[in-house]
Homo-oligomer: A and B are copies of this chain.
Amino acid sequence: MSDAEQTRQKILAVAADEIHQHGFQATSLSTILNRCGISKGALYYHFSNKIELGYAVFEESFVPLLLDTWQPALSQDDPIEGLCQFFTSMCNQMNSSEVVCGCPLNNLCEEMANVDEGFRLRILSMQEKLNALIVTALARVKGDLRPELKFTQVAYFIVATFHGSTSLSKSSRNKVLYQQVISELCLYIRSLKK
């Protein structure tokens, strides 16, 4: 990897972390510059402005991260159990600082969907992609599931509840509430089976 590409990647990594922690609008370019140890010229050489940097972070950091996170759970032989274990283990692994940060996709959706059209479309696309992943996984074990289920609806329901649970834990600063919602979510997911 060239020096320039290394710089670009470092900017992306630091920016992703800052955006995840403080949101896009509250993220200051000067903070990114300080953490990277570079100058403003360097940043504006690689990205034309703040929002283009934001788009790059979303596409090159958040999207792959989200896919890599959900994919394994959904690829298991039994995606129903895969999802339950995924949610439960995520809950167990989390420390308190991660609890408070939430899911980057949900965070950006709450903050930027009404503010910037470019963000909105990227977020929507990612939500649809995630939904399609879940629907595919459910369809794969269709025979084991209750026949009246609407997969798309169920998939959005699961994601909505998951994101809602992360929101809840932000105010309590611990994972107790998160744990309860996830526990109930697993009951619901398992009830999808015949």
Contact = CB atoms under 8 A, between A and B. Distances in A.
Interface string A139-155: 00000000000101110
A12 to B, nearest CB: 22
A115 to B, nearest CB: 8
Interface residues of A, number: 47
Contacts of A170: 109-110, 113-114, 120
Interface string A160-194: 11111101101111000100110111001001000
Contact of A181 (B124, B153, B173): B153
Interface of A: 21-23, 25-26, 100-102, 106-107, 109-111, 113-115, 120, 123-124, 127, 150, 152-154, 156-157, 159-165, 167-168, 170-173, 177, 180-181, 183-185, 188, 191
Which 3 A/B pairs are nearest by Cβ-Cβ distance?
A160-B164, A164-B164, A157-B184
